[in-house]
Each structure stands twice: as C-alpha cells, then as structure tokens.
Amino acid sequence: MTRHAKINILYFFAAAFAVLLVHELAMFGVQTRTIPWSEFEQLVSQNKVESVQVSDRFVQGALKEKLPSGETRFQTTRVDPDIAALLQPHGVKVTGVIESTFLRDLLGWTLPILLFMAVWWFVIRRMAERGGMGGGLMSIGKSRAKVYMEANTGVTFEDVAGVDEAKDELREVVDFLRDPQRHSRLGGRMPKGVLLVGPPGSGKTLLAKAVAGEAHVPFFSISGSEFVEMFVGVGAARVRDLFEQARQKAPAIIFIDELDALGRARNAGFAGGHDEKEQTLNQLLVELDGFDTTTGVVLLAATNRPEILDPALLRAGRFDRQVLVDRPDKPGRIQILQVHLRRVRLAPEVDAEKIAALTPGFTGADLANLVNEAALRATRRGGEAITMADFDHAVERLVAGLEKRNRLLNPREREIVAYHEMGHALVALALPGTDVVHKVSIIPRGIGALGYTIQRPTEDRFLMTQEELENRMAVLMGGRAAEFLVFGHLSTGAADDLRRVTDIARAMVVRYGMSERLGNVAYEKDRQGFLGPGVAMPAEREYGPDTASVIDHEVKAITDAAFARSVELLRARREVLDRTARRLLERETLDEAELKALAQPRPAAA
C-alpha cells in the first residue's frame, strides 16, 4: 500500500467519525423527556402528540406544544405491542425505526478503535523519522545515513581552499564516478576506500561534500557513532543496509565521519570479540571486501585519530588511499580567507595576506570563525565595514581569550605584569631569528592570563635548529628573568612559560639528540603525529633509571642556561626595560611600531 493510499484511508475514517459525532451532538442538543407509558397514552388521548417513531423497545415522538417543563420531544418504553390501534384514532403520524444495523454497529464500535490505531501509527512513524525510541524499535536495523543529491550538498571544489594536494587526489575519484569505464579500460581499478586524515577543522567533511557536488551523485553521510546501539547486531545490520542502499543508487559516495568511533583497534577493550563495536567493524570489513568498485560506489571516511584505527581497516584493498588534510600554510590561509571574505563587507585597507600572517597554525574552521568574530565586532561598534582593527581584535580574542577589564589588579600586580610582558618582548627583539613581536598588553584575558605578548612569525616554519630552539626558550624565560632582575623575587605568573620551556628542553634531549652528554640517540618516540600539541599521547620510554637521571640533569641544565641568558640580556638593557614598562603601564597596550620605537637605546648625554 502506498503512502498516499494510507493517507486517503485515514481521511475516510476521520470523515466518518466526524459525521457520527455531528449526528450525536445534534441529537443531544434537542431537549428530550423520558415519560411513562401511561402518560404517553394520556397525551395521545388529548391529541397532543404530533408524530412518533416506533422501534422494538422504545417510542420516540414530537409534541404539538411544549410540556410544562419546556420539552417538545419525549421518549418512553414500549409496553403495548398493538400501538397502531392506540395512535390511529388520533391522527398521529407513525414511522418505524430499525434499532440496530451492521453498519451502525461497525461505525459506532470499531471506528474509535481504528481511529486510535491510526493515530498511534502516525505518532510511531513520526518518532521513527526523528530517531525516537518507538521508531527505532521498528526500523532499528535501517541505516540512518542522510542522503544528499548534488543540488543539496551545494559544495564544489571552488568552495574548498588551502588544500590543493588533497583536492588533486580527490579529483581522480570524481573522474571515476563520472566515467567508470574509462578508468578501468586498462585493467586498473579505483581505490575502494579513501581515508581523509587531518586535525579537527581542516576541512575533511567539506572535501567529501565537494566530491559529491562535483560528481553529481548521491551522497550518503553518516557518523561512525550512529552505527552503534545498545542492542547487539544493530550496527552490523545498519552497515549492510547502508551499502545496499548505496548499490541501488550507484554511482554514489558513502561518507563516514569520525571513523575512529567505529574502527577502533579490536581487543582494545574488555569485551573481546563479542563487543558490539567489534561486530560492527567486522561487518564493515566484510562489506569493503565484498563490493565491486566497478559498480561506482566509493567509500570516503574521515578521522583525526588514525593511530587508533584497526590495522585491518587500513590495509591495501580496503582503505587503499590516505589523504592528508593538514593545517594550511600561509598561501593556503590566504586562499581560505578569500573564500570567506567574499561573504562580508570589507574596508579598503583589509588585506588577506596581512590577516594570514597573523594566523599561523589556524585551520579552515578557525579562519571562518575569525572572519565571523571580526564581522560581529564591526557590528557591535556600529561600523559600515570590517576593518583591519576588527581582525586584530578577533585574532587576540581567539588566541588570548576575551578581555576581562573587570578583573582589577592592584598597582603592585600591574607593575609585575608589565615588567613580565616587556621582558618577553625585549628578549625577542634582542635575539636573531625569533618571531616578530606584534603586540604587548597587560589587559587580563581568558581564564588566567593577566597579560599577553603576541608574536607574529614572518613565514611558516617546518624545521628548527638547536640555536632557534634555545632562542625560543630564552624568550619564554624573559618574563621570569625580568621579575627576578627588577624585584628580586619570582612569582606564579610564569607557570605556563616554565611548562613550555621544559617541554622544549625535554624534546631536545630525548627526541632530537641535542645533548652532548647523551649523544645522537632518541630515547622517546613521538606519538603526536600531526594532531598538534593539545592531544599528545604518553610517550614510550626505552631507557633505564640511570639514563632517566641523566635526562633530568640535562633538561635542568638547558632550562637554567636559557634563564641565565635572558637575565644577562635584560641586565644590559635595564634602562630600556624600565622605560618600556612604564609606558606599558600608561597605555596598557603597545603595538609593533611603538615597541620598536621605545626599544631603541637613547644616546648618552654629552
């Protein structure tokens, strides 16, 4: 039965029920009095009865005039079977009524039941469409993938910028979906699966939608977590249903986002092979082995945790190709910004290249958020267009946090913070090869930052020498060195600086082989990969306690050397430190031009 036929049946039942309801209400609305048979005979003898309706058990009728109580209709229980002889002499109009029929019984008793069942069926279907519990019990093994046609994705390769290498890899997938026979004429086959690997926000999902938009094919999109339910076997059933739907609509693309939720390495938990997730993964492996690439079904998946995926999922013949979607470099950031800047109103001085220089390490999602924050700030101040000042403010808000002007510091704390931040800035200005100081401020931001120093790299760096690492540690130690030099004591404001310095020093010793005492040996394996500093995993140690003691000694020696170097640099520039700190206390914020002007040593008086 089609959906339209079901709707027509529902309309029929609803109309019939409405007719019965109106009839009953109409009958209920007429005032009727129940009288005894003797009173009925008396009314007939007095010629007050106009008409009656006679049934097997009851007599209903209408009066020529109202009763004393105001009723015009009456009803009585039939006693005399020969009622015609009673009524005929008085000219009463007599009609017969059939008390019960099959149709009336059907409508009167079964229609409410059918109507209740129809309402129940409608509610269950609505819950199923929205993923409710009731609908899930009826279609629990069905795939929950959202199906998009090309017009619905609305994304093409022109909307994706900054990842040219990844787009080139995926263009081959698009060509295959458009013309599978041409790509298989020499016996080659398309990769069964393409795994998009990259940090969060780098554009993996956007790339997958762009492939569907370019190929003009159905796009099945689902998250890895949607396969797993509390019922055993549901995930495997949904995997089978998803691939079956894709085969029916081939050529098509299946996109599984957050594959790590589904493809985690087996035997990693305590449930063993009976774990529901493992059964779902096994079914996915079977489907990858079973479907023919010549049918035009391509599997795309995305993850930012490839190190935890099952090795069987990554072997050749399943996910044949892995495409890295990394953080964009400066030219890539310029391209991404140009895409997002087209949608907002800009002032003439806004330059995408300058904004890209302020945002090293930003992903595509970060840059989109940056443009939105700048637009919101311009709106709050009532501007007609977005200026570079709005973008500078947005960068500070994303990097350092929201301004906390209500966090009032006492004069002594403000002075310590000012010298601390100027210590960072002056050491950075004094050492070669360090990032340019863009801005220094003592306005509290974020959760715990009482001040901040923003440095802007002149170019993207992928390799650093030992000297550059030592210079970076000296800059980080500059704030603590300024406090020690000026006030003769240390404070808790350098906690984050110490952590970062220790991380660099430890990496120099155990990973980069930059310790003369330990030599060119890597004692720990780097397990971060491309995922970034925020998601570091525990390192694997392959050394004994004696070596661990030497490593601790070397790390301390490197950090102490960085601190001593910062102290010497600031001692030689003490007059500049005092002058710039006082200026910072007055202005609260100093930009790059002001810093360079203030940092110039004054000529000695003649």
The reply to whether 233 sits in an annotated binding site is no
The reply to whether 201 sits in an annotated binding site is yes
C-beta of residue 452 within 8 angstroms of C-beta of residue 445: yes
Q: How far is CA 468 from CA 6, 433, 434, 510, 587, in A?
A: 74, 7, 7, 18, 32
Beta-bridged to residue 52, according to DSSP, are 61, 94
What do you get for the CA distance between the two ends of the chain, in Å? Answer: 104
> Nearest 5°: CA angle at 198, between 195 and 199?
145
C-beta of residue 455 within 8 angstroms of C-beta of residue 434: yes
Residue holding tokens 């966090």? 407
Residue holding tokens 């079973």? 290
The reply to whether 424 sits in an annotated binding site is yes
DSSP, res 131? T
Distance between CA 552 and CA 469 in Å, rounded? 18
- Catalytic positions are 421
Residue 206: CB atoms within 10 A of its CB come to: 17
Distance between CA 48 and CA 202 in Å, rounded? 93
Q: How far is CA 296 from CA 173, 206, 251, in A?
A: 10, 21, 4
For 70-153, where are the E strands, in sequence order?
Answer: 73-77, 93-96, 146-148
3-class secondary structure, 252: strand
The reply to whether 553 sits in an annotated binding site is no
Q: Please state whether the peptide bond connecting residue 311 to the residue before it is cis, i.e. omega within 30 degrees of 0.
A: no
The reply to whether 203 sits in an annotated binding site is yes
The reply to whether 4 sits in an annotated binding site is no
Q: How many CA atoms lie within 13 Å of 11's alpha carbon, on the beta-carbon side?
A: 6
Q: How many CA atoms lie within 13 Å of 59's alpha carbon, on the beta-carbon side?
A: 27
C-beta of residue 206 within 8 angstroms of C-beta of residue 364: yes
C-beta of residue 128 within 8 angstroms of C-beta of residue 135: yes
Which structure tokens are listed for 123? Answer: 């509610």
**What's the chain's length in residues?**
606
Distance between CA 200 and CA 502 in Å, rounded? 27
Binding residues, as ranges, are 198-205, 420, 424, 497
Binding residues for Zn(2+), as ranges, are 420, 424, 497
Binding residues for ATP, as ranges, are 198-205
